Amino acid sequence: MVNWDDPSVIAFCGFLYNQIAVFLLGFLGNHVLTRMDIEWSLITRKRRFSPVLIPYLFGRYSILVTLLVFVLTNRFQTKVACDVMYKSLAFLGSAASYCSTMNLGIRSYIIWKDMNRVVVWVLSLGCVAHAALVGLQASESVAFTWNSQTQACAVVRTSHITMFVFYLYTLIMDLAILMLTVAGLWRKGALKSAIGASLSEQCLWYVVGTFVVTIPAVVLPALNLNVIMNVIASMPATTLSVVMSSAAVLSLKPEDISQATSSATTMTRPNERARGVMQHRRHRAHVTLTTNIILEPHGDSAALESSFDVRSHGKTEESEETVSTAV
């Protein structure tokens, strides 16, 4: 039987915690560096900035900063204000987990906003309560102090109840968003459409993945083995949920959606409309992807319409096309 309160066991758990952080930093850093589609399109002004991108961007870089600072402070023996710094890191980590949920919650909000205001208010209140738990988690979940013997910050207290409630609530929110997304698509008559199936499938796999990685972050604080074991699963859960939600956001590319959608309304030049010609030109384009999900309540899923703008610039002529598709 392991004595989890034994100082040598706690020290070994701390060593594992640090090594997990190093691995996660490399894993997340590779993901961010190789999947900068949205960031690059914003920098090159091929995409207009939208407030719905805030959870995506803040979630990715807040957990990246958290891991980077955590790893660096454990490598350099420089005295710092441990409690203030680690409470800030706890806030950034919790906020990243919240942003992961919001990345898919925004889709559910867009689907329901013109259909049922009660559902929208319930979802909004759930998000507000989740945000409040982020603040509580940051202030109460962990306390650090400077250890003069090891010349490093050391955990002195963890609130296992706070961590248990936060991650359990995160699981409940993810499950609620999945149910609302599927129910909204079904009510719109778009669940079996190409884009409806894509949205529901992404949400389903995100929730399944989140359950797998977050369950240890719920169970270990409930067991309250020791101060390190209470927090050891929090960083993997948050990092992997951020990566999965980022992948869901990045998968919604205009070219993928146009291929997945069986029918689209295309506005071409006047002379082409007169001839009834539907032609797709391949130009180097500036693409703006919106999150405006317009799901018409038709029984035929091929009538599903939404919109994003595609503007192509040629050297000898300019043409402007607006392609309506579903996001």
Contacts of 188 (CB under 8 A, 6+ apart): 111, 115, 196, 295, 296, 297
CA distance 60 to 67: 11
Helices (H), 74-193: 82-112, 117-140, 160-187
- Report helix, strand or coil for 37: helix
99-149 pLDDT tens trace: 999 998 988 888 898 888 999 999 999 999 999 999 998 888 788 788 777
Q: What pLDDT score was predicted for residue 252?
A: 64
CA distance 273 to 134: 53
Q: What pLDDT score was predicted for residue 93?
A: 93
Beta bridge mates, 312:
285, 319
Cβ-contact 294, 199 below 8 angstroms: no
Q: What pLDDT score was predicted for residue 54?
A: 92
Global model pTM greater than 0.85 = no
CA distance 140 to 302: 51
**With left for phi above 0 and alpha for psi between -120 and 50, is residue 283 left, alpha or beta?**
beta
Class of domain 7-251: mainly alpha
Element of type H or E holding 16: helix 7-34
Q: How many CA atoms lie within 13 A of 207 on its CB side?
A: 20
Q: Which residues of the chain have pLDDT under 70?
A: 252-327
Q: Domain ranges in the chain?
A: 7-251, 258-324
Helices 82-112 and 234-250 cross at an angle (nearest 10°) of 40
Which of 211, 310, 209 has its CA nearest to residue 258? Answer: 310
Cβ neighbours, 10 Å, residue 129: 11
